[in-house]
């Protein structure tokens, strides 16, 4: 049996384990299909239920598109978001549509910050514009949105800390010019995202997406720094890390876009997860460590590997054979497949057939022909 289509047990939190049916993930992809104003602003509608429900059929996990933690955090006016009037019942049918098909239901929570739509955010917020009390308010707002998603029935939240949005803009030296405890050295640039991860984790299991590089050389965030941030995130209880790249600078150097071009970022972070030596950060207190370390014996490396955060690779992964080889070389634990899954909602079945395995189709489609 392939690795790709064998089940994987995830340690969602200290108390909660779950097994996903395979190692394929549908990554978050904005669909620009919610109402931009009126009583249902930012809420999932029948399009979203069908779109995510059908794609949940052949993957192990679905991560719903970037959802603003508040209306001014939307990437576009048609993005999903949480507003003051949003109730858990508004998002519950979406969580159900995914879980009914046997996939784990995640949702990406975001504040678009410097890249928010001008139509929803004026002025836009950025590292340079926020006071420390506004940062604390945002951390609490992330928590509020996460609590709502927990009550709606989602299995986990993925915190968006990639692609130039607010949390990534704090992480990157390219966009963060602060001189207080949120700027300067990496420990400080990482403070905001780590506070958000801890806050979200109070309500439900937490995952995160990072850009592994800004493709700006030493003017921007580089993978060596992201490895540290990922280790801190893991110490705070993050159970899955999605490794994307870029998105912060339109003038980034030529990006070598091609099959598997971002896999290096997953490989590096996955190797960092294995390390039992944790870099120092004042948010990773003895209390936090004790809670995490108690789960496994310090000298049992294989138990540690089972226990540590799982890392996913994403970006131009185009077929089952390529995906399987990424897993087989140990570069990642999980594979995300975006645009190919937009074109073929049942892509998982096709990739499984490509790998020569027997495919168990849903009852209604037993007679389908996989091409
Ligand atoms: C995206 N992507 C994306 N990423 C993210 O973190 N949050 C988001 O909401 C979106 N939205 C989005 C919309 C659309 C239409 C596309 C095509 C992409 C990036 C996406 O998750 C993925 O990382 C990339 O598409 C690369 O993977 P593939 O498509 O090459 O498998």
Q: What is the sign of the dihedral through the CA atoms of 224, 328, 16 and 69?
A: positive
For residue 241, what is the DSSP state? E
Q: Which two tokens stand for residue 310?
A: 């799982």
Of 342, 363, 365, 341, nearest in space to 59 by CA: 341
Q: Please give the Cα distance from 199 to 191 (Å, whole number).
A: 12
Tell me if 335 CB under 6 Å of ligand 1: no
173 touches 219 (CB < 8 A): yes
**Domains of the chain, residue spans:** 8-365
Asked whether 220 lines ligand 1 (CB < 6 A), one says: no
Q: Kindly state if the Cβ of 168 falls inside 6 Å of ligand 1.
A: no
Both tokens of residue 154?
Answer: 């989602």
Q: Which residues contact 58 (CB under 8 A, 6 or more apart)?
A: 24, 345, 346, 347, 348, 349, 352
Q: Cβ(274)–Cβ(303) under 8 Å?
A: no
CB count within 10 Å of CB 360 equals 10
Q: What is the pLDDT along the chain (371 residues), one digit of tens a residue?
A: 999 999 999 999 878 999 999 999 999 999 999 999 999 999 999 999 999 999 999 999 999 999 999 999 999 999 999 999 999 999 999 999 999 999 999 999 999 999 999 999 989 999 999 999 999 999 999 999 999 999 999 999 999 999 999 999 999 999 999 999 999 999 999 999 999 999 999 999 999 999 999 999 999 999 999 999 999 999 999 999 999 999 999 877 789 999 999 999 999 999 999 887 888 999 999 888 887 766 665 567 777 777 899 999 999 999 999 999 999 999 999 999 999 999 999 999 999 999 999 999 999 999 999 99
Q: Has this prediction a pTM greater than 0.95? A: yes
Cβ 162 under 6 angstroms from ligand 1? yes
Q: What distance lies between CA 324 and its chain's CA centroid? A: 21
Q: Which of 24, 25, 30 to mutate to test the pocket of ligand 1 (most atoms within 8 A of CB)?
A: 30
**CATH code of the region 8-365:** 3.20.20.70
To the nearest 10 degrees (0 to 180), the angle between helices 347-354 and 320-328 is 70
Which atom, in ligand 1's list, is nearest to the CA of 162? 6
């Amino acid at each position: 049996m392939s690795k790709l289509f064998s089940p994987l047990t995830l340690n969602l939190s200290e108390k909660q384990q779950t097994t996903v049916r395979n190692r394929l993930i549908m990554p978050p992809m904005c669909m620009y299909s919610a109402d931009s104003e009126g009583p249902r602003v930012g809420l999932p509608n029948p399009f979203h239920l069908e779109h995510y429900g059908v794609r949940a059929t052949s993957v192990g996990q679905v991560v719903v598109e970037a959802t603003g933690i508040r209306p001014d955090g939307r990437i576009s006016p048609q993005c999903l978001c949480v507003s003051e009037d949003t109730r858990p019942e508004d998002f519950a049918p979406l969580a159900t549509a995914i879980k009914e098909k046997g996939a784990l239901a995640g949702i990406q929570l975001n504040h678009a910050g410097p890249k928010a739509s001008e139509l929803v955010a004026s002025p836009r917020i950025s590292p340079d514009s926020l006071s420390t009390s506004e940062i604390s308010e945002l951390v609490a707002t992330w928590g509020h949105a996460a609590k709502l998603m927990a009550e709606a029935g989602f299995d986990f939240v993925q915190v968006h800390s990639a692609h130039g949005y607010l949390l990534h803009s704090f992480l990157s030296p390219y966009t963060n010019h602060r001189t207080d405890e949120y700027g300067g050295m990496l420990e400080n640039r990482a403070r905001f995202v780590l506070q958000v991860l801890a806050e979200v984790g109070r309500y439900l299991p937490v995952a995160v997406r990072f850009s592994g590089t800004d493709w700006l050389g030493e003017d921007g965030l580089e993978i060596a720094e992201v490895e540290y941030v990922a280790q801190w995130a893991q110490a705070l209880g993050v159970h899955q890390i999605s490794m994307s790249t870029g998105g912060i600078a339109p003038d980034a150097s030529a990006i070598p876009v091609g099959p598997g071009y971002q896999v290096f970022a997953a490989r590096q972070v996955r190797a960092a997860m294995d390390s039992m030596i944790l870099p120092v950060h004042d948010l990773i207190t003895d209390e936090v460590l004790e809670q995490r370390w108690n789960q496994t014996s310090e000298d049992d490396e294989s138990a540690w590997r089972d226990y540590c955060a799982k890392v996913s690779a994403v970006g131009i992964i185009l077929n089952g054979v390529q995906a399987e080889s990424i897993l087989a070389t140990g570069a990642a634990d999980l594979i995300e497949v975006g645009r190919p899954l937009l074109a073929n909602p049942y892509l998982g079945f096709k990739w499984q057939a490509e790998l020569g395995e027997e495919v168990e189709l849903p009852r209604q489609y037993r007679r389908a022909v996989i091409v």
